[in-house]
């Protein structure tokens, strides 16, 4: 039986080769001199005889590339190889406990309604639950702020006013019938405009897709809809999730309008910090939640890889993309994550894991470290050293460690990101439509996609295998600690945890002399430790109150 099957396979292969040989024409000539020149790009060295033997096979490959190109695979077609950050030696608790949210009873409506812009989710939830304001009223309030300040910050791509008013009315009607879903019921929010929502445009922030309609609702949107949250806007992102420049301009930092808000979840961070929405949803492949949160003074949670299914979201890199909340406090981030995390059958890399948030962190018994090789050389008055001092004064024992810095994690991650994103946007590159994108300098996607076409499949796969070795090397160190403190914008720690899938939370740590916010990042040493890092960050915020400072120009 096996022998017959083998013969059939050989016949199919021969027929396949004959077909492509038949369709090769004079324009497909490949000569050994071309092979010799190409070798130099890939650090390869073949003999003349070996080059000669390759010619026929390379012609066949060329024909097959044309066959593949004929499909013009859209961004939504998945990659059927799923990255899993879980190593064989890892073990996890799988029991989900009930979370008790401490919704305050005595929240009052402010005399100046503009103050509502910076109320926490639990404060707003209290007002709605106790019927001191309706969701419809609150939704109209935030829509008004989006209209007032959206152009100033260049952070709004489209308002979803009709959807918002319908969802707000439903939240109010449910509450009137005694149906209470969650603290997010009736709370407005914004989505980074790479998530599909029926009857809205999903622009990816760039001209070639600015009129794109996707007849699908993203998983994270449906999760929040189930919780009763109200979508008021689709917010700006740097083109195809890079940087803060999109077809409408540059998204601005609410603390300094002369600066961009960094990328790519630029609008999500900017709108949240300016009080245009109580929270927003962002994504990260390499720094796109961490960086804008750090620059704008938001609290951004980048969860463990796979914690929130990415169905209905734009793909940039299948093995690195993540979804997470951008908020104004750690507890707000915990609430949003609690109701948005989970898996579905479409995103095969997603998994539903417990989020047993209690809101309390045992400072005396938590194992905390800081990356001394990134922090010890900073000035004595740096925000990072001030964070460590604040925690030590509160009783936290902090161990200095050398964070892995010589594993070439940045190079590995960028290679994976480049190859996968070039595949995800293959039709864009070949059509020439990439010329319509705003960002055309060499370090941006049009050129990155073109250059990535020359990453060999063999090298891409070997880089993925090296990634696994890095995960194995990092695991013994990371697992020793509940929290590892690093500078938010340090490339190697950010890249390493993007490769390993570890979660982190980025939050305000003070202010620089020019008035701009500084930040700190707490990495979870273990996968799926979002409950621990959000509780730890909450306690730090209770000690400092930096998160309660807001940009003056948006308090009106």
Q: What is the pLDDT of residues 328-379, one digit of tens each?
A: 999 999 999 999 999 999 999 999 999 999 999 999 999 999 999 999 999 9
| Mean pLDDT value across residues 289-307 | 98
- DSSP at 195: B
Report the pLDDT value the prediction gives residue 10, as an integer from 0 to 100: 47
| Mean pLDDT value across residues 533-547 | 98
Catalytic residue among 170, 192, 526, 539: 192
421 tagged catalytic: no
Report the pLDDT value the prediction gives residue 21, as an integer from 0 to 100: 52
Catalytic residue among 182, 288, 421, 529: 288
Whether the per-residue pLDDT at 299 is higher than 90: the answer is yes
Whether the CB-CB separation of 392 and 368 falls below 8 Å is answered with no
Report the pLDDT value the prediction gives residue 440, as an integer from 0 to 100: 96
Report the pLDDT value the prediction gives residue 247, as an integer from 0 to 100: 98
Find all residues with CB under 8 Å of 353, minimum gap 6, and list them.
Answer: 92, 94, 304, 307, 341, 528
Whether the CB-CB separation of 237 and 445 falls below 8 Å is answered with no
- For the chain, domains (ranges, CATH) are 20-69 (no CATH), 113-354+361-406+464-554 (3.90.1300.10)
CA dist 489 and 492 (Å) reads 9
Quickly state the pLDDT bin for 513 (edges 50, 70, 90): very high
Which tokens is 436 given?
A: 């319509």
Q: Which residues of 197-209 are buried (b: 16+ CB within 10 A; e: fewer)?
A: beebbbbbbbbbb
| Mean pLDDT value across residues 36-49 | 94
If one counts every other C-beta atom within 10 angstroms of the C-beta of residue 133, the result is 18
Whether the CB-CB separation of 240 and 247 falls below 8 Å is answered with no
Whether the per-residue pLDDT at 421 is higher than 60: the answer is yes
In the chain, the percentage of residues whose pLDDT exceeds 90 is 93
192 tagged catalytic: yes
With CA atoms as reference, report the closest residue to 507 among 496, 526, 525, 520.
520
Does pTM top 0.75 for this prediction? yes
Quickly state the pLDDT bin for 405 (edges 50, 70, 90): confident
Give the three-class secondary structure for 404. Answer: coil
Catalytic residue among 126, 264, 350, 509: 264
- DSSP at 145: H
């Amino acid at each position: 039986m096996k022998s017959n099957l083998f013969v059939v396979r050989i016949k199919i292969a021969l027929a396949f080769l004959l077909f492509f040989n038949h369709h090769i024409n004079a324009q497909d000539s490949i000569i050994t001199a071309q092979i010799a020149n190409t070798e130099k790009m890939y650090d390869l060295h073949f003999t003349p005889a070996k080059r000669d033997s390759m010619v026929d096979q390379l012609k066949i490959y060329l024909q097959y590339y044309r066959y593949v190109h004929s499909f013009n695979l859209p961004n939504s077609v998945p990659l059927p190889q799923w990255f899993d950050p879980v190593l064989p030696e890892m073990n996890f608790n799988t029991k989900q406990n009930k979370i008790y949210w401490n919704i305050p009873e005595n929240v009052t409506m402010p005399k100046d309604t503009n103050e509502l812009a910076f109320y926490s989710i639990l404060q707003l939830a209290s007002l709605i639950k106790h019927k001191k304001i309706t969701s419809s009223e609150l939704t109209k309030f935030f829509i008004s702020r989006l209209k007032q300040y959206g152009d100033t910050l260049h952070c709004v791509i489209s308002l979803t006013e009709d959807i918002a008013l319908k969802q707000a009315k439903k939240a109010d009607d449910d509450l009137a019938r005694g149906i209470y879903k969650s603290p997010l019921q009736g709370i407005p929010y914004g989505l980074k405009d790479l998530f599909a929502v029926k009857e809205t445009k999903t622009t990816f922030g760039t001209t070639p897709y600015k009129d794109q309609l996707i007849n699908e609702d993203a998983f994270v949107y449906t999760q929040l809809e189930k919780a009763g949250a109200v979508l008021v806007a689709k917010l700006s992102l740097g083109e195809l999730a890079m940087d803060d420049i999109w077809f409408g301009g540059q998204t601005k930092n609410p603390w300094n309008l002369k600066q961009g808000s960094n990328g790519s979840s630029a609008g999500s961070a900017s709108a949240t910090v300016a009080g245009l929405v109580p929270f927003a949803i962002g994504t990260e492949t390499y720094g796109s939640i961490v960086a804008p949160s750090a620059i704008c003074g938001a609290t951004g949670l980048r969860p463990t890889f796979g914690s929130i299914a990415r169905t209905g979201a734009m793909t940039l890199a299948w093995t690195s993309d993540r979804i997470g909340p951008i908020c104004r406090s750690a507890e707000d981030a915990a609430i949003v994550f609690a109701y948005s995390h989970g898996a579905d059958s479409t995103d095969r890399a997603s998994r539903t894991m417990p989020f047993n948030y209690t809101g309390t962190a045992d400072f005396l018994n938590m194992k905390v470290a800081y990356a001394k090789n990134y922090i010890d050389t900073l000035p004595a008055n740096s925000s990072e050293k001030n964070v460590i001092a604040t925690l030590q004064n509160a009783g936290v024992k902090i161990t200095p460690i050398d964070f892995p810095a010589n594993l070439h994690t940045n190079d590995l991650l960028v290679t994976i990101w480049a190859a996968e994103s070039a595949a995800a946007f293959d039709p864009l590159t070949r059509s020439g439509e990439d010329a319509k994108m705003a960002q055309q300098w060499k370090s941006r996607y049009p050129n990155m996609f073109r250059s990535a076409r020359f990453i060999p499949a063999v090298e891409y796969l070997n880089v993925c295998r090296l990634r696994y070795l890095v995960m194995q090397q990092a695991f013994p160190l990371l697992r020793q600690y509940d929290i590892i403190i690093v500078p938010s914008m340090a490339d190697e720690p950010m890249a390493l945890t993007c490769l390993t899938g570890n979660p982190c939370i980025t939050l305000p740590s003070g202010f620089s002399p020019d008035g701009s916010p500084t930040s700190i990042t707490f990495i979870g040493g273990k996968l799926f430790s979002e409950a621990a890092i959000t509780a730890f960050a909450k306690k730090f915020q209770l000690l400092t109150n930096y998160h309660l400072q807001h940009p003056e120009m948006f308090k009106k």
